[in-house]
Structure 1
Amino acid sequence: MLSKSAGPVSRAARHALPIVKLGMRRLLHEKSPFQMTLSLTNRCNFRCTYCEIPLQQIDEMSTAEWLAAIDELRAGGMGRASIMGGEPLLRKDVGEIVRHLKRRGVHASLNTNGWLVAERIDDIGPLDLVCVTLDGPEEIHDRQRHPGSYARVIRAIEVLRQHQVPVVTMTVVTPAGIDHVDHVLEVARAHGIRAYFQLEHDKHMDVRQPISPELSQARVGRLARHLGDLKRRGLPVGNSYAALERQEAERYLITCDHCHAGSYFGYVFSDGTVSHCIFTRAQVERGNGRARGYVRAFHELGAPTGPGCSCVPTHEVNHILDFDARVLFDALNVSLRSAVRRVSHIAPE
């Protein structure tokens, strides 16, 4: 592991290496659980208007089970892990899980609503990235998510920046918030971070259902063009140009028959079920990872089925795996700049 005194070039190279490794596995057609989402819990302290995950209570693996799953997946090729929920910071053992991932050399990120970030900063400090949800101006954000949560998000961003933990925002684009993306970008610019924008999914996470029918394709297309224009003007829009151009004409960013989920990235639910992604849980045997092993369960996954989704992270990873030069360059550039920014805050020992 690199020490705090390692130079910015070596640290930047370490941050970019997972992207290079993922591309190499794709080039060699090696199926591998390289990038895995670990959903620690469905529990959440919010009741967002567009999400019913907290209502879908399922069993949760113990700390020991999660650590064993991480060890197995790491041995099977996992290089990146994204911790999700529910709200993952509700798990008292999240710090132990984070530290275990980092000890195993895994690039680790975490998605959070931001409410508990300040009090759990010591647990999440080792992370390579934290993604905090910010849905728009305070009134809209609090109405959609939880009273008082906007202020907590701003505080979470400040605390993460103070502790040199890389942070980005993710905005769930809803009919109420679609015209307020400029506010989110102003917040992001003021704090020196990137902002991503994700269309609201069907609240049941069912890809067979339309994605927010109230968001017409014309309206979504205008948003995509607007974000592209702002990105070209230098505002910190995280979505790639490829994703924005696709979304101008089609709200489904990727179709299942062209998705690499289940080949190079996958999803582990809190009960040990291994699936292609959060949308395909019904297509696999429940608890297959616990029963037969996580790597084996991953390799047994067939191709996902369904119309597709508008999941921005999934779209970006698919473009990397398809060797889209624009997305590859953007991803590597972001990794390099993030690493250089972080090392600039660390005084040599």
Structure 2
Amino acid sequence: MGLEGRLAVHHSSGGRRRHAVGSRSAVSALHTDRAARPDAGDAAGRRVADGIGPVSVLPADCLFPEDRDPSPARPHREQDLKPTAKLAIGTKILGARLTGTPRPFFVQYSLLNGCNARCVYCNCPNREDPQLGTTEHRRVIAEFARLGTVRIKFLGGEPLLRTDIGELVDQVRQVGVRSAMVTNGFLIPEKMDVIRRLDELVISLDGTEAAHDGQRGRGTWKRVMRGIELAAAERLDFFLSAVVTHQSAGEIDWLLETARRLGVMVNFQIPQFNPEMYGADARAWMPPPDEIRAILEKIIAAKKAGAPVLFTVRSYRHTLGWKDFSVERVERPGQRSPCTAGRYFLQLEPNGDIYPCVLHAGTFRPKNVLRDGVEEAWRHAQHHSCFDCYNTWLNENRAIFDLRPDVVTNFWRNYLRPRD
């Protein structure tokens, strides 16, 4: 799960009830035409830190009129986040942007590198960084709340492997911050009590059984589909996230249809190839440039037609306009970056290092929350020289804090979901 854990997407929340399209029968229908494969045994595990169970392993600056989000609005529900709560979050972001005051509003919070999957494009399980314990995490979460954070998204590795994950989710909610998580879905049956307490969740799904197992390991599709089936049976809201490689490029239609049947939305991501995070072989899984552009055009067309694509046309169009996919980002040393990464959203690594975003790993010299303090480490992450990248999710985030109307509307509609 590590790659898209560091990329994006979502589920809404503890006890959230979803409209009937996402029913057990809808999920069961997804299985009817799939050939069964034997389940593979779980990879051998090891304990990696306190609280962790056994584990295996063109600038986005113009508003295109045709890019307005055509996706139908979700039906109103009594449990939806109250307009006053949405307004409070929106007012905080607007105020900070108009006054030029940085705030760590969104925190990508990586709890561990350990994972019970071995995705071909991810390096997380091979990293041996030290990791924070429960007490340290509680202090860090409280400090982020003090600094103005409105959403913390737990990542890995696989965050559900931590035995203290329920305590950390509760801590986030206790300090008045929205809780989110990205998971490969394997442990949803065992951890449903934690899942119900979240505000947002993303479940990783790359396509049909052959495609998903080919990228994440034999038997993994059955496990994630079981997790999705349970989430649907609980009538919970969730989002899907798919990594689109040369192997899974043909899965887009199936994923969109699956999302429609479930009544959820799906995020598509092209692999990055920073070897620190994504593995030395990640580049080999990228589709060739012409295929990437064809994929993006297909996603954009689907979004315009009202398909359940999570991100905006603007962000996919930005990636489509990228000239050279062998270069994942553009640095201009000595110049202040126009990107809002580091100033309004950030990446926290399992050892406590804070980066502007995940793409800076291995090139940016971070400060650490234990050694330097949360505030100092975050302020240090504001000073970087990255001007642009092709990562769709990062550009979606950037556009939120650049107050792009289409992206802000999409965020308001799809991310600020219900809470008990």
Normalised to the residue count of structure 1, the TM-score between the two structures is 0.87
8 A contact 1:39–1:270 mirrored in 2:
yes
| In structure 1, C-alpha distance between the alignment counterparts of 2:90 and 2:216, rounded to whole Å | 33
The change in CA–CA distance for 1:236 and 1:10 in structure 2 (over 3 A counts) is: closer
- 1:278-317 to structure 2, matched below 5 A, reads 278-285=358-365, 288-306=368-386, 308-317=388-397
Q: Please report how far the alpha carbon of residue 52 of structure 1 lies from its aligned counterpart in structure 2 after TM superposition.
A: 1.0
Q: Counterpart of 2:412 in 1: which secondary structure?
A: helix
| In structure 2, C-alpha distance between the alignment counterparts of 1:19 and 1:150, rounded to whole Å | 38
| In structure 1, C-alpha distance between the alignment counterparts of 2:330 and 2:98, rounded to whole Å | 21
Partner of 1:224: 296
| In structure 1, C-alpha distance between the alignment counterparts of 2:277 and 2:79, rounded to whole Å | 43
Partner of 1:163: 234
Q: Please report how far the alpha carbon of residue 264 of structure 1 lies from its aligned counterpart in structure 2 after TM superposition.
A: 0.8
The residue type equivalent to 1:237 in the other structure is: V
Could you say which structure has the higher helix fraction? 1
The residue type equivalent to 1:180 in the other structure is: E
8 A contact 2:185–2:203 mirrored in 1:
yes
Normalised to the residue count of structure 2, the TM-score between the two structures is 0.73
Match of 2:316 among 234, 238, 244: 244
Partner of 1:346: none
Worse-superposed segment, 232-241 or 299-308? 299-308
| In structure 2, C-alpha distance between the alignment counterparts of 1:255 and 1:321, rounded to whole Å | 20
8 A contact 2:96–2:103 mirrored in 1:
yes
| In structure 1, C-alpha distance between the alignment counterparts of 2:235 and 2:199, rounded to whole Å | 10
Partner of 1:258: 338
Residue ranges of structure 1 left out of the alignment (5+ in a row): 344-349
Q: Please report how far the alpha carbon of residue 218 of structure 1 lies from its aligned counterpart in structure 2 after TM superposition.
A: 2.1
Partner of 2:355: 275
Match of 2:130 among 59, 63, 74: 59
| In structure 2, C-alpha distance between the alignment counterparts of 1:23 and 1:161, rounded to whole Å | 35
Q: Please report how far the alpha carbon of residue 157 of structure 1 lies from its aligned counterpart in structure 2 after TM superposition.
A: 2.0
Q: Counterpart of 1:212 in 2: which secondary structure?
A: helix
Q: Please report how far the alpha carbon of residue 15 of structure 1 lies from its aligned counterpart in structure 2 after TM superposition.
A: 4.8
Q: Please report how far the alpha carbon of residue 177 of structure 1 lies from its aligned counterpart in structure 2 after TM superposition.
A: 0.7
Q: Does 1:116 align with 2:187?
A: yes
| In structure 2, C-alpha distance between the alignment counterparts of 1:234 and 1:92, rounded to whole Å | 40
The change in CA–CA distance for 1:151 and 1:24 in structure 2 (over 3 A counts) is: farther
The change in CA–CA distance for 1:93 and 1:152 in structure 2 (over 3 A counts) is: same
Partner of 2:62: none
Q: Please report how far the alpha carbon of residue 274 of structure 1 lies from its aligned counterpart in structure 2 after TM superposition.
A: 1.4
Q: Please report how far the alpha carbon of residue 16 of structure 1 lies from its aligned counterpart in structure 2 after TM superposition.
A: 6.1
Partner of 1:326: 406
The residue type equivalent to 2:317 in the other structure is: E
Q: Equivalent pairs: percent with the same residue?
A: 26
Partner of 2:165: 94
- Which protein has greater RCO, CA pairs closer than 8 Å, 6+ apart? 2
Worse-superposed segment, 247-256 or 47-56? 247-256
| In structure 1, C-alpha distance between the alignment counterparts of 2:329 and 2:238, rounded to whole Å | 26
Q: Please report how far the alpha carbon of residue 286 of structure 1 lies from its aligned counterpart in structure 2 after TM superposition.
A: 5.7
Q: Counterpart of 1:282 in 2: which secondary structure?
A: coil
8 A contact 1:228–1:244 mirrored in 2:
yes
| In structure 2, C-alpha distance between the alignment counterparts of 1:16 and 1:85, rounded to whole Å | 31
The residue type equivalent to 1:227 in the other structure is: I
Worse-superposed segment, 250-259 or 134-143? 250-259
Partner of 2:96: 25
Q: Please report how far the alpha carbon of residue 73 of structure 1 lies from its aligned counterpart in structure 2 after TM superposition.
A: 1.1
Partner of 1:125: 196
The residue type equivalent to 2:378 in the other structure is: F
| In structure 1, C-alpha distance between the alignment counterparts of 2:242 and 2:205, rounded to whole Å | 5
Partner of 2:32: none
Alpha-carbon displacement from aligned partner over 1:274-327 (angstroms, at most 9, x marks no partner): 111222233455662111211121112243345744333221111111111111
Q: Does 1:212 align with 2:283?
A: yes
8 A contact 1:129–1:165 mirrored in 2:
no
Q: Please report how far the alpha carbon of residue 20 of structure 1 lies from its aligned counterpart in structure 2 after TM superposition.
A: 4.3
Number of residues paired by the alignment?
A: 336
